[in-house]
Amino acid sequence: MQQHNDNTRLDLLRHGEPLGGRRYRGQQDDALSELGWQQMWQSVGEYDAWQQIVSSPLQRCHAFAQALGERIGTPVRSEPRFAEVGFGQWEGKTRAELEQLDPEQVSRFYQDPVNNRPPGAEPLKHFVERVSNGFTALLTDYPGQALLVVAHAGVIRAILSQVLDMPPAAMYRINVANAGITRLSSDRERGVNLVSHGSNGLVR
């Protein structure tokens, strides 16, 4: 990772549960469920120290980002590069539905997510590159600030794979819970580093 002299802090917040529950959603634009809203409000609590909120344009992220920005008086920016990975023909389907069609296809995907993409899915390399470009832009645009990024499990995995110098094939080994928060910060010696991961409440 490139080194950054400004102490920038980034909190990465995954969206809460969407309508329809657990499924391979990708870029299908489902809204948050009532539980999803509750999960996100509980996760951020009364914290209001962010100077900028950046969100995926998909409504399960952006609607909450807008509501939070209005509540705490913080500007919100939509970042198209932080949309979830496109899952092609898997979008909107549950694991059980996919396994009815082909019992092994989900397992093949997790064993090699680079070469066993869902039909019509965005190539993993392209996805990681677009997220990486968006992440690098944040570090350039908001040096020394505290940022909240509201995004998806895939986006958070892609950012962590960049920060930790992991190959894209390994990123699905990272569990990202609904409304979980990952904190990153810049460091003059190490560049961007991981402070905490998977919290459902902020490290103050």
pLDDT digits (tens, 9 = 90+) for 87-96: 999 999 999 9
Q: Could you give the percent of the chain with pLDDT greater than 90? A: 76
What kind of architecture, by CATH, is found in domain 9-87+124-199?
3-Layer(aba) Sandwich (3.40)
CA 154/CA 90 separation, integer angstroms: 15
Tell me the pTM: 0.91
pLDDT digits (tens, 9 = 90+) for 159-202: 999 999 999 889 999 999 999 999 999 877 778 999 999 876 65
Structure tokens at 192: 């961007």
- Dihedral angle, C-alpha 23, 84, 195, 44, nearest 10 °: -70
CA 49/CA 143 separation, integer angstroms: 15
Q: Could you tell me the residue ranges of all domains in the chain?
A: 9-87+124-199
pLDDT digits (tens, 9 = 90+) for 121-166: 999 999 999 999 999 999 999 999 999 999 999 999 999 999 999 9
Looking at residues 17-45, what average pLDDT do you find? 93
| DSSP track, 140-196 | HHSTT-EEEEEE-HHHHHHHHHHHTT--GGGGGGS---TT-EEEEEEETTTEEEEEE
Q: What is the pLDDT of residue 52?
A: 97
Distance spanning both ends of the chain, measured CA to CA: 25
pLDDT digits (tens, 9 = 90+) for 62-87: 999 999 999 999 999 999 999 999 99
Q: Tell me which residue has tokens 């993409």.
A: 117
For residue 204, CA distances in Å to 9, 10, 112 come to 12, 13, 37
Q: What are phi and psi of 151, to 5 degrees?
A: -150, -155
